[in-house]
Amino acid sequence: MRLLCLSFFLFVISINLSAQKDWKDANLSVTKHQIKLASEVLNYTATTGYMPIKDEKDTLKANLFFIAYTKDGESDPAKRPILFSFNGGPGSSSVWLHMGALGPKVVLMTEDGNTLPPPYKYSDNPHTWLDKTDIVFIDPMMTGFTRPAGRSTQTEFTGYENDLRFVGDFIRLYLSKYARWSSPKFIAGESYGTTRAAGLSGYLQDRYGLYVNGIILVSAILDFGTVRTDRGNDVPFPLGLPTFAATSWYHKKLDPKYTSLTSLLKEVEQFALSDYAAALIKGDRIADAERNRIIDKLHDYTGLSKEYLDETNLRLYVGQYNKELMRKEKKTVGRLDSRITGQDFNQAGASYDYDASYDIAIYGGYASAINDYIRRDLKYDNDLPYEILTNRVGPWSNSQDRYLNVAETLRSAMVRNPSLKVWVANGYYDMATPYFATDYVFHHMFLPKDLQKNVNFTYYEAGHMMYIHKPSLIKLKNDFAQFAKDVISTVQ
């Protein structure tokens, strides 16, 4: 009897040890792949599935879905760079950067970024960043397949501060479980994901002493006060004007004398920071003569009628502008990418019905591609819907300010980690996170002079997802290669 009890006890211990040893196998699919790039054939491993997120009492709180790509054949993987990537929304999965730019597969589109007919296809991505760094794509709470577990609710992991803890704790856990603390570390976010990336630069330092080497901000938004066009907040109007001008130029609504986009934008930026900003500050005290001069300039830079500009009280709004610019052609221009046009039911409406650059250009193709790719190529199955961009996650805010502003968090992180380098990539035709608003925020961070050189800006003749435009996709990869080289050179 004692022998039987002892055998049973040893059996239970062996089961528990096996479960602890093979925790990855129970949650993950591990597959081997190969991709041919211009200079090499790259063999890599894809790890797909859940990372169990537990509290200190070992209680399961959530299952975070991720897809990690690691290059095979490295003698010491801990020395290879690693990049953690996510999108924004704030209820967005990581699919956009994953299958649009960084990952080994890319959604097939036209070269200028228009959709192809369904059923949609994807192929090898010759411009993947995987030749330069391992990549981990993270789906925050309620995006992708990520969900709360046990008695937890989603509100424990959503909202700006909870989101930082959730994603930051995953990064710490991944580095520990896969022995990557010694790797050079990058964080890449797009859109609201740049808000998260900036916040993580502080959270990871403060909570874990985890100092990263590079922060990549694609279509950045760090201060929401620069884009929220609420009554009483005039800051966004001058900062959005260059994007409106670029859009009008692209759709040939300006005088032909403006032959160069970059020279046009330089002129508009100067006007926005000087005469235009000064006029808005004056409010209803502005003199008629000055008001008319501003209207004339806005007409020159947008192509909109002077009557319309007068009716808008000198202030242009996303949505209304998108409807008005091509009203005579019965078309609207997109918000995420204003190069792309759509059509509404009511041609006389004040605003557009939908964002053509999302609903027409990218949503269907990316949703189809990720669902097929996960199951077919990565051999991972899950009956939950893969949430591409969900409204089940509330807006981000904090208790102190009406407009969330994480610029100070990033500034503080850079001061305490003087080796931290930041790369900002913005599209000229992006109305969601206008490039000039990002420029404004960085020039109001008041970084010490010696740290200002650690911030690099690049611009693209495309929109929010600039990588759907093939020339911009190629430029983005080349710009990353240079950024990574600059960062890695400082740690070797």
CA atoms within 13 A on the CB side of 427: 28
Q: Supply the angle between the helices 236-250 and 435-442 in degrees, to the nearest 10.
A: 140
Pick the closest to residue 109 from 463, 486, 492 (CA basis).
463
> Do both 214 and 130 map to the same domain?
yes
Instruction: Convert the pLDDT of each residue in 310-352 to its tens digit.
Output: 999 999 999 999 999 999 999 999 999 999 999 999 999 999 9
Question: Do 209 and 106 share a structural domain?
Answer: yes
- Assess whether 42 and 163 both reside in one domain: yes
Which range (10-19, 373-382, 409-418, 469-478) has the least confidence?
Answer: 10-19
Find out whether the peptide bond into 236 is cis, omega within 30 degrees of 0. no
Residues 65 and 153 grouped into a single domain: yes
Choose one of 354, 380, 396: the last residue of a domain. 354
Q: What pTM value is reported for the model?
A: 0.93
Please report, for the domain that includes residue 440, its CATH number: 3.40.50.1820
Q: Are residues 100 and 198 in the same domain?
A: yes
Among 329, 354, 379, give the residue marking a domain's end.
354
pLDDT at 248: 98
Q: Is residue 9 part of a domain?
A: no
Whether residue 14 lies inside any domain: the answer is: no
Task: State how far the Cα of 491 lies from the Cα of 419, in Å rounded to an integer.
Answer: 9
| Stretch 269-291: mean pLDDT | 98
Same-domain check for residues 193 and 336:
no
Residues 371 and 290 placed together within one structural domain of the fold: no
Average pLDDT over residues 394-398: 67
Cα-based distances in Å from 423 to 188, 194, 453: 9, 11, 11
Rounded to 5, what percent of the chain is helix, strand, coil? 45, 20, 40
Nearest-CA neighbor of 389 among 170, 191, 162?
191
Tell me: do 321 and 378 sit in the same domain.
Answer: no
For residues 380 and 326, membership in a common domain is answered with no
Residue 152 structural domain: 23-225+363-489
> Do residues 338 and 463 lie in contact, with contact meaning Cβ atoms separated by under 8 Å?
yes
* Distance in angstroms (rounded) separating the CA atoms of residues 29 and 51: 12
Among 298, 332, 354, residue at a domain's last position: 354
293 in the same domain as 200: no
Counting the structural domains of the chain, the total is 2
Mean of pLDDT over the chain: 93
